[in-house]
Structure 1
Amino acid sequence: MSGSDIDTTALLQQVKQASADGKITASAAENIAIWLTEDRYARYAGQVADHITSGKWKELDDAFWTIIPFGTGGRRGKMYPIGSNAINERTIGESAQGLAEYVKDNVKGDLSCAIAYDTRHRSREFAELCARIMVSNGFTVYFLDDYRSTPELSFLVRYKKCSCGIMVTASHNPPSDNAVKVYWSTGGQVMPPHDKKIIDNVMNVQEIPLGVEFDAAVNDGKVVICTKETDEAFISNVAQQKFDGPRDLKILYSPLHGVGASAVIPALKADHFTDVTIFGPHEEPNGDFPNVPEHVSNPENPAVFDAAIAQAKTDGTELILATDPDCDRVGCAAPKTMDATGEWGTFTGNQIAALLCDHVLSERKKGGGLTPEHYIVKTLVTTEMARRIADSYGVRTCGNLQVGFKWIGGTMDAEGPDKFLFGCEESHGYLVGQYARDKDAAVASMLLAELAANCKAEGKSLHEKLESLWWQHGYHAERLLNQKMPGSEGMANMQKLMGKFRQQPPQTVGGLKLLQVRDYLNDTITTPDGEVTHLNGPSGNMVILDLEEDNYVAVRPSGTEPKVKFYMFTYVAAEQLSLLDAAQEEMEQRLDAFEKDLKAFADSV
């Protein structure tokens, strides 16, 4: 249906009636009316009208019930050709235009923007769209002309001294999704005060300039293709983080159908690992992620390793690495013992954080370069084992941070990057070095390979190495529970649940008494008897329930998906460990009890 054929009055009446009949929410009706009547959405009015006349009310409600928000890393969601709550040309365009307008108003001198994209459907298309918009706003664009990693985009922003950056990726979300991550001149994702001001700009975008064609901008030098140059510089910087040691290790690597082979394989080669094979079923760059469980390429999910482990048991592989589609997160699997044909196991993000933290600090100590001014960085929902390891090496931990690697990058700049040793977050994100301000699966893969080779030379497995760290620093077990709350009702229930945790928290969780509630939104600490004191912490919509025996639970709504996350932490001090197996079993039962109580509490809302 063309714009001239649209009977707006009749269509608006149908929308009004659909809302009255409960076929769509009131907010969807409001947003549909905006897309039907306002000039800035004129090019999409025909598609909206077709949906209305075809009675596609569910599709319309899903696409319009809200305005897709900026979360912890940018604007992410399900792709659909129309809709305020979908990723499409308009919402991607608004993101780029809002960023461009803000940078123009706040940055002096020549303006430039780095842009990269992953293997998802429409990622290249959206990357070119963003490039056209930035050029139309007077920016020079530095463009990575092939599938590349998010940390390489972060590096490119710094390498070319760009004003900002855009990465087109939805990380490890399902194939239906896409997103843009927005970066500041530091190479880190945008932080306060820029983030909220950029969001305001995005939400108020009227016109999106599209007069410049991508190929013409390349020919005019407004879009600079710099892939080869950036690749070489990026890998050189990653390789500078390596440590000397044995390299006798057979590695199987899975990019999970993403960009990772462009970063991990060169990094391992630069670190002199020669026996590296890409896992064939996951090698093809493919936005459908066809050969992974439920088509979700998330290295946090142990099931993505099953097929690779089956192969590893027959071909002598000693370490399996897997990275998510944009190669900023890494997971790994290894034999439980030195027998690679026997039982294998994967590691949680917190366990990898502990292993890498100890490896980096141990190697740095050998070089005599550690001082009390050196520091590691972690978030509030990342294992305290990293802090205890850092304490044992006499270095600081900056750990009073909200969720999101941007806070780790920001801390590096605030504290001084020269003394930065290691950054980690529980969701499999790690960084060593100063070359980027976002997590990097390439450098983490390289260092994990080093550690596994060291362990092999000492006659132990990675799992046995982790056990030795538990004996030294205490047994730590963590678990993440995702409570999904989709749709408009889900959003309301998320707010109710967070309010209940603040006002009427459970007095026990898993049989352990509540000692206090840390409320990071209201900056308060409240005890069960009602005593309230000030909380010195980073502001954010998160609550932490401190329980007996150094156990605790963190609760926060996801910044990118319609769900509430429960982060559960248990601990047995080293001096209280007698049998590791018994401690593991007891803490597993405790986590089960935590999960049961938290689910019941959430269901009561």
Structure 2
Amino acid sequence: MLPVEDLYQLEFEDFMNVHPSVQAAISAIETAAQESKISQTAVENLRVWLTEDRYSQYRDEVIAHIEAGKWQKLDDVFWTIIPFGTGGRRGRMYPIGSNAINDRTIGESAQGLADYVVAFHGGKKDLSCAIAYDTRHQSRHFTELCAGIMAAAGIKVYLLDDYRATPQLSFAVRYKNCDCGIMVTASHNPPSDNAVKVYWSSGAQVLPPHDKAIIEKVMTCQQIRSMPFDEAVAAGMVEVVTDEIDAAYFDAAGKCGFDGPRDVKVLYSPLHGVGTAAVVPLAIRDGFKDIEVYGPHAEPNGDFPNVPGHVSNPENAVIFEEPIKYAKTIGANMILATDPDCDRIGVAAPKTTDTSGEWRTFNGNEIGAILGEYILSKRKAAGTLSPQHYIIKTLVTTELCRRIAESYGVRCVGDLLVGFKHIAAVIDAEGPDLFVYGTEESHGYLVGQYCRDKDGAVASMLMCELAAELKAKGISMDEYLGDLQRRHGYHRETLISLVMEGSEGMAAMQRLMKAFRTSPPASLAGIQVAKVRDYSAATITDTATGKVGHLAGPSGDLIILDLADEGNYVAVRPSGTEPKIKLYVFTRLAPDQSADLEKAESVLGARLQALEQDARDYARLNVKPS
């Protein structure tokens, strides 16, 4: 009897004899690799797609690309296997490729989730999954694909069959007692991208131990089993619940508001996404009557045509430039914007009470602090706070939020990695009845118990309440923030994104993260780096003595460089959704140095510039191959 490896070789040779075009294609890609036109990992993945039965429907398209000599494109979409991370799978869309979003990679994601849910529940009947989608290209198509796969696995689908927000999907999972959920969206990524976000029965994105188990199922998926969407609907395996979920969501989310004035004029931009169906009805329900949707951004459109750079990210101040010009003409008191799936918000407002004067945008940390102060002040006035109540933030979110919480005698749980799923996990671990507020620097905010993901609609409602209250008091939002900075010390932060695309970019990212771990900079902006916290190795190193101690906290690919000046530090991590390394820069002055806000702004502005320059210089030197 022949050894197994010899049997495989015979089968491969038989396959090649039957498919001479495949043999020619493999020879071509091997030659291209020798000529450095394509990476070796792309060759390996292309061989799999050309020879394995599970990819047979894509074979002709792959061969056509090879025959046309599209080596750069083939390398882009085959150099790696697009990861199924703990939040799902996200990337550029392309009909073929292991490193692209297409029917195969989305299908594997849904099949892996379905297989795990079925296996985990061990024969349980009445399994179910909620699915929703946004305005991106192919979102509806991928939704039908995922629904058909779930139905074929015996999992009933509750479908939000119109453009709906990610928090509404999280709510639907909980409301319908589903075993899992899928949101088809790439959030704020460029128009070229799409993704699936995967949720567990809690309404939060999947966490251990489910995340790794689902990833294993996805990465070993052989066959995708799907029921045609129309057939699944006819069989009752897909049920449209849009109206039911809308009504229940607005009832639950509306209860998160507070009493107060409602006289304020707000300009709102959905940035061509789903937000109009969530933000506007919820604000109206809360008593606001003067909410205008900004016309150029109103159309649901996956190309995001009227947004600068076609990137609908409320973190980018540039998206507010044209809306601010219009807001001045109509006397608006505030501008709100939500990203395409409406789980994050951006805010702009006049610097004074003069709506025709100078305006400013607020970053995610500033909005987090402003909302935290508003919510805690309202809860204190209502007598509904105790020392057991808590807010939640991540390690890369401003410490101003912690200081605000402590001023109200409330706990702050802040030792968390990036990702709102970690905030959701704390809510359930600490108890939702004591949860007050969750925030992360990337413009995500949550109150209440109705869902387990950040919610742009409820955050917008609360910002409307605050804007109305400030208008009634004759105070600008900038002045409101300035008062917080005086009381708790002036805080300023910035985010540096180092984009590193493709196979070379991945290697560069790995080199840079290794450098920060093994040979961090001795100083930044003239301030000594006193300690290095490595959350992957669970170590904290004193740079002066070299002493290494144990670091308590979560485990993840995050490094924090603590500077000798307390409250000043830099956090470094690779993005989980984009090909970039993010550096979060934090600066602070003590309250006794913050009375003069203009002077404090000048001091920390210069410090941030120096920190950013030094960080970029260090990165530039350490991304190169040794």
8 Å contact kept, 1:134–1:141: yes
Tell me the residue number matched to 1:374. 389
8 Å contact kept, 1:376–1:398: yes
Is 2:151 the partner of 1:135? Answer: yes
Note the alpha carbon deviations across 1:326-368, whole angstroms, 9 max, x for none.
0000001101000000000000000000000011110001110
8 Å contact kept, 2:572–2:584: yes
Q: Which amino acid aligns with 1:118?
A: D
Structure 2 unaligned segments of length 5 or more: list them.
Answer: 1-16
8 Å contact kept, 1:121–1:287: yes
Is 2:35 the partner of 1:21? Answer: yes
8 Å contact kept, 2:190–2:310: yes
Aligned residues: 602
Note the alpha carbon deviations across 1:570-605, whole angstroms, 9 max, x for none.
001112223110110110111111111111111112
Note the alpha carbon deviations across 1:287-311, whole angstroms, 9 max, x for none.
0000000000000001111111101
Q: Which amino acid aligns with 2:393?
A: K
Tell me the residue number matched to 1:570. 587
Is 2:598 the partner of 1:581? Answer: yes
Question: Where has structure 1 moved over 4 Å in runs of 4 or more?
Answer: 3-6
Is 2:617 the partner of 1:603? Answer: no
* Distance in structure 1 (CA, Å) of the matches to 2:595 and 2:486: 9
Is 2:49 the partner of 1:32? Answer: no
Q: Which amino acid aligns with 1:578?
A: A
Tell me the residue number matched to 1:145. 161
Secondary structure at 1:567 match in 2: strand
Secondary structure at 1:243 match in 2: coil
* Distance in structure 2 (CA, Å) of the matches to 1:161 and 1:68: 31
8 Å contact kept, 2:438–2:447: yes
* Identity fraction in percent: 60
Is 2:91 the partner of 1:74? Answer: no
Secondary structure at 2:154 match in 1: coil
8 Å contact kept, 1:431–1:438: yes
Note the alpha carbon deviations across 1:2-21, whole angstroms, 9 max, x for none.
x9876211111111111111
Note the alpha carbon deviations across 1:20-52, whole angstroms, 9 max, x for none.
111100000000000000000000011001101
8 Å contact kept, 2:86–2:212: no
Q: Which amino acid aligns with 2:275?
A: G
Q: Which amino acid aligns with 2:23?
A: T
| Residue among 424, 432, 455 paired with 2:439 | 424
What RMSD in Å do the two structures reach over aligned CA positions?
1.0
Tell me the residue number matched to 1:352. 367
Q: How does 1:205-604 map to 2 (within 5 A)?
A: 205-210=221-226, 212-528=227-543, 529-549=545-565, 550-604=567-621
Q: Shift in Å at residue 422 of structure 1?
A: 0.2
Q: Which amino acid aligns with 1:167?
A: M
Secondary structure at 1:94 match in 2: helix
Q: Shift in Å at residue 560 of structure 1?
A: 1.0
| Residue among 6, 15, 22 paired with 1:8 | 22
| Residue among 114, 117, 121 paired with 1:103 | 117
Secondary structure at 1:492 match in 2: helix
* Distance in structure 1 (CA, Å) of the matches to 2:546 and 2:154: 56
Tell me the residue number matched to 2:220. 204
Q: Shift in Å at residue 548 of structure 1?
A: 2.1
Structure 1 unaligned segments of length 5 or more: list them.
Answer: none
8 Å contact kept, 1:150–1:167: yes
* Distance in structure 2 (CA, Å) of the matches to 1:12 and 1:217: 39
Secondary structure at 1:414 match in 2: helix
Secondary structure at 1:152 match in 2: helix
8 Å contact kept, 1:6–1:49: no
Secondary structure at 1:263 match in 2: helix
Q: How does 1:151-162 map to 2 (within 5 A)?
A: 151-162=167-178
Tell me the residue number matched to 2:4. none
Q: How does 1:54-93 map to 2 (within 5 A)?
A: 54-71=68-85, 73-93=87-107
Q: Which moved more, 1:525-534 or 1:3-12?
A: 3-12
Q: Which amino acid aligns with 1:583?
A: A
8 Å contact kept, 1:107–1:163: no
8 Å contact kept, 2:84–2:109: no
Tell me the residue number matched to 2:189. 173
Note the alpha carbon deviations across 1:38-81, whole angstroms, 9 max, x for none.
00000001100110111111110000000001235221000000
Q: Which amino acid aligns with 1:498?
A: M
8 Å contact kept, 1:72–1:560: no
Q: Shift in Å at residue 493 of structure 1?
A: 1.3
Q: Which amino acid aligns with 1:315?
A: I
8 Å contact kept, 1:117–1:168: yes
Q: Which amino acid aligns with 1:452?
A: A
Note the alpha carbon deviations across 1:444-495, whole angstroms, 9 max, x for none.
0000010111111111111110001111111100000001111111111111
Secondary structure at 1:604 match in 2: helix
Going from structure 1 to structure 2, the CA distance change for 1:6 and 1:63 (only over 3 Å counts) comes to farther
Note the alpha carbon deviations across 1:209-229, whole angstroms, 9 max, x for none.
12x211121122110100001
TM-score of the two chains, using structure 2 as the length reference: 0.95
Secondary structure at 1:236 match in 2: helix
Q: Shift in Å at residue 207 of structure 1?
A: 0.3
8 Å contact kept, 1:72–1:404: no
Secondary structure at 2:529 match in 1: strand
Secondary structure at 1:24 match in 2: coil
Q: Shift in Å at residue 381 of structure 1?
A: 0.2
* Distance in structure 1 (CA, Å) of the matches to 2:20 and 2:208: 43
Q: Which amino acid aligns with 1:295?
A: H
* Distance in structure 1 (CA, Å) of the matches to 2:620 and 2:88: 29
Note the alpha carbon deviations across 1:113-172, whole angstroms, 9 max, x for none.
000000000000000100000000000000000000000000000000000000000000
8 Å contact kept, 2:111–2:224: yes
